[in-house]
Amino acid sequence: MASENPAAALKDFIVGLRHVGHIVEDLQASIADFRRIYGLTDEDITVLPPFGQEAPARFGLLNVGGVEFELIEPISDDMKATLNAVTSGAGGINHVAYVVNDIDAAMAVLAKQGIRPGHVTPDGVVDTGRTRIAYLNPADTSSLLIELVEVYG
């Protein structure tokens, strides 16, 4: 159904975030990382098709705080070529940011799990004057750059 309002924009139709897609080399390892990072349980994870079934790609659908991550493991050479052909140039998903209510406590929990700060905040939490932020080291998070933000003031 077309909009009658010529000033309508895409934002007028968006209801919410559906998922964040992330291509991974090893779905089982990435799911293990997500379990460790976020404390996910079996109820938070769906794998399609299930491990053991042949498919050109396997998808892990993970519920993280009400946001779905779609982890995509290309298996066949054709699927790898297809996914590699769809480039975002220098763009693409740069990071996923979460608002947290206690960044120091969150970083302490992550440190116990071997997840280090990294990227532009390798020394830990940075105070920007309105927020306190920390990025997590992508080497510890299945190559996904994650930002934590505590808003104050």
Compute the average pLDDT of residues 137-152.
87
CA 141 to CA 122: how far, in whole Å? 14
Picking from 40, 45, 48, the residue whose alpha carbon sits closest to that of residue 62 is: 45
- Sheet with 126-127, edge to edge strand ranges: 96-99, 146-151, 131-136, 126-127
Q: Confidence band (pLDDT; 50, 70, 90) for 4?
A: low
What mean pLDDT comes out for the span 138-147? 86
* Spatial separation of the C-alpha atoms in residues 28 and 56, rounded to whole Å: 16
Joined tokens for residue 60: 């892990």
pLDDT at 90: 42
Band the pLDDT of 116: cuts 50, 70, 90.
very high
Identify the CA nearest to 138 among candidates 37, 60, 69, 46: 37
Question: Which CATH number is correct for 12-86, 3.40.50.800, 3.10.180.10, 3.30.559.10, 3.40.50.150?
Answer: 3.10.180.10
Q: What is the pLDDT of residues 46-102, one digit of tens each?
A: 999 878 888 888 999 999 988 888 888 889 998 888 777 665 434 456 678 888 999
The most confident of the ranges 7-11, 70-74, 123-127 is 123-127
pLDDT of residue 61: 92
**Terminal-to-terminal C-alpha distance of the chain:** 44
Q: Could you state, in order of their start, the residue ranges of all structural domains in the chain?
A: 12-86, 95-153
CA 35 to CA 13: how far, in whole Å?
33
Q: What's residue 91's pLDDT? A: 47
Pick the CATH number of 95-153 from 3.10.180.10, 3.30.1050.10, 3.40.50.720, 3.90.1150.10: 3.10.180.10
12-86 and 95-153, same CATH topology = yes
Distance of CA 88 to the CA centre of its chain: 17
pLDDT score at 44: 96
Is 99 within 8 Å of 118 (Cβ atoms)?
no
**Higher local confidence (pLDDT), 106 or 18:** 106
Number of Cβ atoms within 10 Å of the Cβ of 8: 11
Q: Which helix (H) or strand (E) holds 37?
A: helix 27-38
Q: Identify the pLDDT of residue 28.
A: 95
What pLDDT digit, counting tens, does each position of 18-51 carry?
Answer: 788 888 889 999 999 999 999 999 999 999 987 8
